[in-house]
Amino acid sequence: MSFLSRLFGTAPDPKEQLRPLWHAIVSEARNPQWYRDCGAADTVEGRFDMITSITALVMVRMEDDAELLPATARLTELFVEDIDGQLRETGLGDPTLGKKMGKLMEAMGGRIGAYREALPQGLPAVTDVVRRNATLNDDADPAAMAARIIAFSGSLAATPVDSLLAGTLPK
């Protein structure tokens, strides 16, 4: 994108191509099955954990495809934009927003790395990641969440690039 295009807004924002995928990620993170069947806590923290987990799984999928690798940065921008807006709606202002966003981005990066490492190792490793990174109900079994994450990740791997970019995530 040239300087003049950015300055005068004549070129479309490249991250907008990923907005359908971002909306699909948020929709999947709100899927009642994660809460009802897998024990995700229906709290602010639990919902954030689900959004970051689904985003992390999609990012890991995108990293496996050289064609999608550049799009991961734009997807991250959409994540930051959305979370920033959500935090501002809660009344968080500029003096503390930067620190909070830094911590949330650190959590996102850690989650991507944790899933990248654990998924090839199977259920025990993913269960450990869930234990460390998900806010679950007191009676929830982390292995149930881990099993669904593994299944979702496997379905993501089989999702064609065009479908993924169009926002079609596995059910």
Question: In the structure, what pLDDT confidence band is assigned to residue 139 with cuts at 50, 70 and 90?
Answer: very high
Residues 86, 134, 89: CA angle, nearest 5 degrees:
10
Q: Where are the domains of the chain?
A: 15-162
Question: In the structure, what pLDDT confidence band is assigned to residue 10 with cuts at 50, 70 and 90?
Answer: low
Mean pLDDT in residue range 27-40: 96
* Residues with Cβ within 8 Å of residue 157, at least 6 apart in sequence: 61, 64
**pLDDT for the residue 8:** 67
* Residues with Cβ within 8 Å of residue 31, at least 6 apart in sequence: none
Give CA–CA dist 144/43, Å, rounded. Answer: 19
Higher pLDDT, 5 or 11: 11
Mean pLDDT in residue range 116-130: 97
Residues 98, 102, 107: CA angle, nearest 5 degrees:
150
Give CA–CA dist 105/58, Å, rounded. Answer: 16
pTM for this entry? 0.86
**pLDDT for the residue 88:** 67
The pLDDT of residue 70 is above 60: yes
Question: In the structure, what pLDDT confidence band is assigned to residue 130 with cuts at 50, 70 and 90?
Answer: very high
**pLDDT for the residue 100:** 67
**pLDDT for the residue 6:** 62
Residues comprising the chain, all counted: 171
Residues 62, 81, 84: CA angle, nearest 5 degrees:
130
Which of 6-10, 92-96, 114-118 is the most confident on average? 114-118
The pLDDT of residue 91 is above 70: no
Question: In the structure, what pLDDT confidence band is assigned to residue 82 with cuts at 50, 70 and 90?
Answer: confident
